Amino acid sequence: MSKSLAGKIALVTGASSGIGAATAVALAAAGATVAISARRADRLAELVAKIEATGGKALALPGDMMNEAEAIQAVEDTVARFGRIDILVNSAGVMQAGGIEQADMDLFRKVFDINLFATLYTCKAAVAHMLEQGGGDIINVSSMAGRKGGPLTSAYSGSKHAVNAMTDGMRQELGGRNIRVSILMPGATETEVASGIVNPEWRDMIAAHVSKDGAVKASEMADTIVFMLSLPRNVNISEIHVRPTIDTTA
């Protein structure tokens, strides 16, 4: 891979697995110095070692992005260590079933706290630095569920619709000041997303969905992110859908 992001400083949230972890590896391979944050410190340490073993530079910043103070601290620690933040990739997220009958309000709040508000916390903190330094890039990882709904998807799909709306508003607000803001909407992607789902039927369904033949690999989503970031500054991919070739659903 070419060093298209040489000299850039990036922060990736949700970096202990899945798209977040793959993105950290891909950014480092493209020349960026990468700060990585997630709750599982052991996973982050392993990822730092992996990146450094191939000549990359990485910093582990364990934290819970659902906690506003810890989310902001991840941004501030990145800037304190490296002097700036050029790239923010928000990949921290959770999936849960969420129908309206006997809706679990605590579960709904948790899904929105992680998927929407955690993204808001880091974006607000990073934007202040990006404006001061003269520019930057923010990519928020959403989902194809952010373009549609369905039975039992109210919590997850609702949170991702909100992420999409917030992100596009940010793009319009910040584009004139050299901050590109983009939405990445993955379809079926091989990750651990199903492992934390409480509802056993939905857990099995999502596990089958993300492991089906032809599912996109997390590394392929990461390559998409590097592509988006490597385009000329006058080009902002406002949103991109990435799904398996064999997926012909609307």
Please spell the DSSP secondary structure of the chain, one letter per residue: ---TTTT-EEEEESTTSHHHHHHHHHHHHTT-EEEEE-S-HHHHHHHHHHHHHTT-EEEE----TTSHHHHHHHHHHHHHHHS---EEEE-------B-STT--HHHHHHHHIIIIIHHHHHHHHHHHHHHHHT-EEEEEE--GGGG---TTBHHHHHHHHHHHHHHHHHHHHHGGGTEEEEEEEE-SEESSGGGG-SSHHHHHHHHHHHTSTTPEEHHHHHHHHHHHHHS-TT----EEEE--TT----
Q: Which of 156, 181, 190, 191 is catalytic?
A: 156
Catalytic, 156? Answer: yes
The long-range contacts involving 79-84, CB below 8 angstroms and separated by at least 24 positions, are: 79/129, 81/35, 82/9, 82/33, 82/35, 83/9, 84/9, 84/129, 84/133
193 contacts: CB under 8 Å, gap ≥ 6: 18, 93, 95, 206, 210
Q: How far apart are CA 8 and CA 26, in angstroms?
A: 13
Catalytic machinery residues? 156
